Structure formats: structure tokens, C-alpha cells
Amino acid sequence: MKPSQSNLHYFFLFLLTLVGFSSCSKDTNLDKIVPYAHVEFEYLDNENKLGAVGNTIYLDENDIITSSAGYKNHGIILVKLNEGYAAFDATCTHDVESQEHVELDGVFAVCPICDSKFNILQGGEPFNGSVARYNLKQYKTSSNGASSHAKIRVYN
């Protein structure tokens, strides 16, 4: 049995549509969501604010003088983890161009504009029900390994 020419057109149209949809993917490159800002500084935890797992602090442009404090100087959030430290840009991934930044609420960061809530201990992941769909932008960290009075380097 020979396929008709019109059936072949539908088949190729279906194949083209299938390839088009399968090549679309969710872009999770946070440099495209939260634009690049050069970040490179050291934080000396002289007051041992990050001495315990789960402790978080917010640093703004007054605390960071050697580079920007994240995108639009929204600030950097530092958290003590089981294994080292994590640093996040305080820019909400839903309201990127807002002049406001997320605010700390324990181990959570909350956007005052869209009310999105992010879990700092889980990689800056937004909670279910939040308008934001992407994690907070994370920066690299390294430390001198001391549990008290640590020297923490934050950088891109």
C-alpha cells in the first residue's frame, strides 16, 4: 500500500512540530535571569555570627568595599552549612529589576515585592507557591576552615 502524498505532508509537519517542542528547554542560566555583577571579597567573621549551622547574615555595599554587593548592590546573603558556607545574591529572581532586595527571615529569604520565599539551606530554592521559579543566584565560597572567626572568600 502506497502512502498518499497528503499523509506524508502531515507526517512531516508532525515530525517538525515534535522536534521543535523537544528542543525547547527551561533556561536556568542564572546569569541570564540575574545579570552578572563582579563579586569578590573576604568576610572576616570576627563576631562569630556564622559560628553555627543555619546562621545567616546579610551584607550590603557598606560591608563589602572591594567589589559590588551583588546585582544592583542588592546585597549578599551568607549562610553556614554543614560543610562550609554558601553565598547568595539578595536579588529576587522574579523581581530582578526592583530596587528592593530579599530580606532574611531566619534561614529563609522573602521578597517584599512579590512575597516569594526562598530556602537558604536548600540552595536558595523558592518554596512551592512562590511566584519566583528560579533559585537565588549563588556565588562560590571558600574559607580558612576555622569554625570560629572564619575568613570567608566570596567570588564569581
On whether residue 20 sits in a domain, the answer given is no
- Express each pLDDT in 117-148 by its tens digit: 999 999 999 999 999 999 999 999 999 866 66
Range of the domain at 60: 30-155
On whether residue 64 sits in a domain, the answer given is yes
Q: What angle do CA 138, 142, 143 make, to 5 degrees?
A: 135
Q: Using 50, 70 and 90 to split pLDDT, how confident is the model at 39?
A: very high
Q: Cα(72)–Cα(49) distance, rounded to whole angstroms? A: 25
Question: Residue 145 is part of a domain; what is its CATH number?
Answer: 2.102.10.10
Residue 18 burial (CB < 10 Å; 0-12/13-18/19+)?
Answer: exposed
Residues 6 or more apart whose CB falls under 8 angstroms from that of 31 comprise 137
C-alpha cell at 68: 559590588
Residue 19 pLDDT: 46
On whether residue 102 sits in a domain, the answer given is yes
- Express each pLDDT in 50-95 by its tens digit: 989 999 999 999 998 888 899 999 999 999 999 899 999 999 999 9
On whether residue 40 sits in a domain, the answer given is yes
- Please state, rounded to an integer, the average pLDDT across all residues of the chain: 85
On whether residue 6 sits in a domain, the answer given is no
On whether residue 107 sits in a domain, the answer given is yes
On whether residue 25 sits in a domain, the answer given is no
Residue 22 pLDDT: 41
| 96 in Cβ contact with 33 (< 8 Å) | yes
Beta strands 84-89 and 125-126: pairing type?
unpaired
Give me the number of domains the chain comprises.
1
On whether residue 4 sits in a domain, the answer given is no
C-alpha cell at 153: 572568600
